[in-house]
Chain A
């Protein structure tokens, strides 16, 4: 809402000493933010001049050389405007003038001296959309009576200040000059002045010749009046300039008055050409597929959720949103019907979102005080009579189901002070309500407040408490900490621990976007799920929710590769989303991507390979307490984005919880390794408590064993068999060498394992250990067809 200070000063006195910035800041303190606060015309050093001579520039086909009398002197000015002419009164920017586009300097233009500029209005900062055709293309010509040497801005009554407010959604009342006047009145303790609604009436009562039919519950109040013999002409200057200051384009006096009244009262009006109606206005829901051509000459297709105005036969306007073309006020219009009505805010909101959000629809959406509906129609009659030469017809057609009464709310003083944490005395509370223009009576413990209907946002005691805090001043409330029982706050530490562990393993944490492209969403998994698609994505690049974090990290890798980072070890903990059947859900997942060198120091380096990332996976699983509960197994189904022979599923308690593997070369030409664990699934599985195990005081016995097996035998199979055969005295095994070579024969490999044995109460004898070793070898020979390597 752009507030013209000249406009609002009609209704509330503001001290001359108050600057526009001070007013804007004071409004901010009570809750009304602003985007800008400045003069309407931001230009200095302007003066009214008279063009004495005007000749073509000798070296140009469009420039003019003029002499201009500015009262104190005669200036030599080169002017490029096509409409400049001898005898005109014009706006002159003297040398040194600051205009929105720069400073005016003395100079030579193609050999001719130029000591100023003759100005167009747009050069003073008025948007071209507000200007007449002549003013859009040329300098502004002032009336002949304009006093030479005086300030043109003051003469044109453009010496206004404008604050552009960014209002909150609840303060529909501030979308009016009157509302603003009450707000400023509360801040500066000034009374709001009355608005002039007076006008004469003549002729037969309108109700005899005109009917209102409201056939919908979505219109609570509808008033109509007729004004005859209006003259369509340009509005008075103050109306035009106040509209411009408020951001509305002046058109003609009739249209301008409807906008002017909307600005004053906050009630949008609609004017119909009375001679193009059939003596009736109807409000109803639109029919399905009903067509209507609106003012902007677009044909609209409507449905039952749209509210229309009709002439009894066909729709002639979209209620609260836009009028129809067929009954528009034109230059030939003589008699008008004024509509002042209230339409359902939700319905207007829906229709306007489809069609156009306008000054009118915005006000209907935020809600309108029905008293203003009455006020606005009378104000329009007053102005039409005064400025458009109209005659107001006797009588007003009315349909009224609205509640016009003021609200009565009681609020206890203790309630106010308890909620604000203050000790504001009674009289100060009562004074706040008085400043706001409310009536408040003291009933001992409480203030009984009558809140005028215009404050639609106030309905409960808490709303009044907010008013007290606004006007009393939140700055006057001292902050303190709540007095509550002491306790230690709780939090789930697991994710933080996992993040720390990953960081300690040398990975950099990332945060990536959850929204990805639908081509990516089913990749890197064989899981079946329905992707979650946005109804209204911002770009097709991001139109679905990710299921896995892998696409996000792959993108991050590609970004880094393009930015000369080839050693990338990153991870993220985030959500993956899915729909299975009718269930919508999300899982917390840990994902890591590793590529390039894991570390590289003098004479030693470790490139990332399958075993490095598998090591990361094991570190996490062990750290979380799952050691000996997990295994790495071949995936149940092929996943085409992974290398078919360098991929494993992480199975915990025989349930797949994650995947680790290398990306398929078709997918990524560099060697890139991926780990992803579904943490929700993993952390659901119980782990034992961390507890101490007795340490043997006797030495362990270590034995190495080297066997030749088929290549297809996995080392984990081998270790499993060893464990099974090892019995109670077997402590553990560690594979320390794997060898493949021609000497062993094709399809064979040798695996060397170091085994350890021991017990708590004694040193094992050679015989005992040899006996177990024999058992183990026997077992390996039998179940894995292993041969002992000598």
Chain B
């Protein structure tokens, strides 16, 4: 009996080791361990054995069975591993093929610059306010100390709809609106940005363009001064045009400020050496600015004896052109997809 069991085990082990695939293994498993297997038969025959032999042989059968089960499991695992490996190999791909492109849009470069300016000034405590593009003569001119018939005001430059309404020629209109709307006449620190319109179209002027305007008004004790204006514009221009940018203030004339200054920056093309862009002067005029004219304060409800402040404004289109090296202003408004798509990434 002992011999027989040993033989059964040896035969089975041999068969297991010769097995070629999982299906044969399953069949063999039934054959070796199933109810009709030799081992099972051997167990059934236990009852025919003597009292002394019975436990001994029983243990022997169980040991053989356990051993065979282990062997089979081992084989099963081997086949499973092999199977998986084959499957994975079949799933091999060319990792250099193009990816599934998720469409990426882009922001217009002018709006990118607008956002940059907004973020700079909000970080300095300025509120961003908005005003209508369809303005009244009153806010666009009259309340800015530009009465009818004033030489600085020229019908040729404006798009009038009626005698009263026009497309705003300058974001300065928002200055007056902000002062009038502030009923407590508390200090003001705002910027406003947006589209403006003038009746001119040539290589360097578009009839539609964008401006930013800043206004700071405070009680006279605060002593808002030209030096403050200068410092503020230095921060602004250096943020936009680089830390090395120098500013030159030139006295000028705007009806809504007194004193008034035009501000030049070192030429962004040549860095001040002189080139065709700056007409060999090394400077490029970018900003208009000044201390708010007492008449403007008065006309919009602020007592010029108690309040003072500064204002400034500049065109955004040219800043954007410089920032991104755009060579022709027309690109900004023709909206060629090949142009727009270039502005689809983070900017340092």
Chain A residues with a Cβ under 8 A of chain B = 28-31, 33, 168-171, 345-346, 349-350, 353, 365-366, 418-422, 457, 460, 462-463, 465-466, 469-470, 474-475, 477-492, 496, 499-500, 502-515, 532-538, 542, 545, 556, 559-560, 563, 565, 567-571, 574-575, 577, 584-586, 598-602, 604
One of B4-12, B60-68, B84-92, B154-162 at the interface:
B154-162
Residue-wise, chain B 205-216 has the 8 Å CB interface mask toward A (1 for contact) of 001100000001
B127 touches A489 (CB 8 A): yes
- Residues of A within 8 Å of B231, CB to CB, are 479-482
- Residues of B within 8 Å of A479, CB to CB, are 227-234, 247
B250 touches A418 (CB 8 A): no
CA distance A599 to B249 in the complex (A): 51
Within 8 Å of chain A (Cβ to Cβ): is B306?
no
CA distance A563 to B334 in the complex (A): 11
- Residues of B within 8 Å of A599, CB to CB, are 101-103
**B48 nearest CB across to chain A (Å):** 55
- Known contacts A479-B229, A515-B207, A574-B195, then 12 further A-B pairs from the complex at CB < 8 Å, ordered by chain A residue: A31-B250, A419-B226, A466-B258, A475-B248, A489-B122, A489-B125, A490-B128, A513-B208, A538-B201, A545-B161, A575-B134, A602-B100
Summed over the interface, the residue pairs from A and B with CB atoms below 8 Å come to a total of: 265
Residue in A closest to B222 when the chains form the complex, CB atoms: A484
CA distance A534 to B158 in the complex (A): 10
- Residues of B within 8 Å of A584, CB to CB, are 134, 161, 165
Within 8 Å of chain A (Cβ to Cβ): is B14?
no
A418 touches B259 (CB 8 A): no
A511 touches B108 (CB 8 A): yes
**A3 nearest CB across to chain B (Å):** 18
Of B122, B197, B336, the residue contacting A560 (CB under 8 A) is: B336
A-B contact pairs, 9 of them (CB 8 A): A168-B252, A345-B151, A463-B258, A466-B260, A481-B124, A482-B231, A508-B341, A574-B195, A577-B133
Residue in A closest to B334 when the chains form the complex, CB atoms: A559
B108 touches A506 (CB 8 A): no
Residue in A closest to B332 when the chains form the complex, CB atoms: A511
**B163 nearest CB across to chain A (Å):** 8
**B318 nearest CB across to chain A (Å):** 15
CA distance A649 to B247 in the complex (A): 53
B232 touches A31 (CB 8 A): no
- Residues of B within 8 Å of A483, CB to CB, are 222-223
A514 touches B195 (CB 8 A): yes
**B99 nearest CB across to chain A (Å):** 7
A31 touches B252 (CB 8 A): yes
CA distance A343 to B338 in the complex (A): 58
Q: Is the interface of B mostly helix, strand, loop or mixed?
A: mixed
B252 touches A490 (CB 8 A): no
**A36 nearest CB across to chain B (Å):** 9
Within 8 Å of chain A (Cβ to Cβ): is B284?
no
**B256 nearest CB across to chain A (Å):** 12
A421 touches B218 (CB 8 A): no
- Residues of B within 8 Å of A515, CB to CB, are 159, 197, 207-208
Residue in B closest to A500 when the chains form the complex, CB atoms: B107
B227 touches A492 (CB 8 A): no
Residue-wise, chain B 174-201 has the 8 Å CB interface mask toward A (1 for contact) of 0000000000000101000001010101
**B251 nearest CB across to chain A (Å):** 3
B121 touches A489 (CB 8 A): yes
Residue in B closest to A578 when the chains form the complex, CB atoms: B134
Which residues of B136-186 are within 8 A (CB) of A? 148-152, 155, 159-162, 165, 167
B134 touches A420 (CB 8 A): no
CA distance A482 to B216 in the complex (A): 9
CA distance A457 to B201 in the complex (A): 32
Residue in A closest to B121 when the chains form the complex, CB atoms: A489
CA distance A29 to B250 in the complex (A): 5
Within 8 Å of chain A (Cβ to Cβ): is B326?
no
Residue-wise, chain B 224-242 has the 8 Å CB interface mask toward A (1 for contact) of 1111111111110000000
B251 touches A30 (CB 8 A): yes
CA distance A466 to B108 in the complex (A): 40
- Residues of B within 8 Å of A169, CB to CB, are 150-152, 253
Within 8 Å of chain A (Cβ to Cβ): is B337?
yes
- Residues of B within 8 Å of A535, CB to CB, are 159-162
A469 touches B259 (CB 8 A): yes
CA distance A532 to B344 in the complex (A): 36
B100 touches A536 (CB 8 A): no
A477 touches B197 (CB 8 A): no
Within 8 Å of chain A (Cβ to Cβ): is B313?
no
B151 touches A482 (CB 8 A): no
Within 8 Å of chain A (Cβ to Cβ): is B118?
yes
A499 touches B249 (CB 8 A): no
Residue in B closest to A502 when the chains form the complex, CB atoms: B105
Lowest 4 CB-CB distances: which A-B pairs, in order?
A: A421-B227, A506-B103, A421-B225, A489-B122
- Residues of B within 8 Å of A419, CB to CB, are 225-226, 259, 291, 308
Which of B98, B148, B197, B235 has the most chain A CB atoms inside 10 A of its CB? Answer: B197
Residue in A closest to B98 when the chains form the complex, CB atoms: A602
- Residues of B within 8 Å of A534, CB to CB, are 159-161
B149 touches A469 (CB 8 A): no
Residue in A closest to B295 when the chains form the complex, CB atoms: A460
- Residues of B within 8 Å of A507, CB to CB, are 105
Which residues of B250-306 are within 8 A (CB) of A? 250-253, 258-262, 291, 293-294
**A255 nearest CB across to chain B (Å):** 27
- Residues of A within 8 Å of B123, CB to CB, are 489
Of A345, A475, A484, A574, the residue contacting B189 (CB under 8 A) is: A484
- Residues of B within 8 Å of A500, CB to CB, are 107
A486 touches B125 (CB 8 A): yes
**A267 nearest CB across to chain B (Å):** 17
B336 touches A503 (CB 8 A): no
A514 touches B335 (CB 8 A): no
CA distance A419 to B223 in the complex (A): 7
- Residues of B within 8 Å of A485, CB to CB, are 125
CA distance A261 to B296 in the complex (A): 38
With A477-B226, A508-B105, A565-B338 as given contacts, are A533 and B251 in contact (CB-CB < 8 Å)?
no
Within 8 Å of chain A (Cβ to Cβ): is B17?
no
A586 touches B134 (CB 8 A): yes
CA distance A28 to B263 in the complex (A): 12
Residue in A closest to B153 when the chains form the complex, CB atoms: A169
**B15 nearest CB across to chain A (Å):** 47
Of A28, A31, A475, A514, the residue contacting B208 (CB under 8 A) is: A514
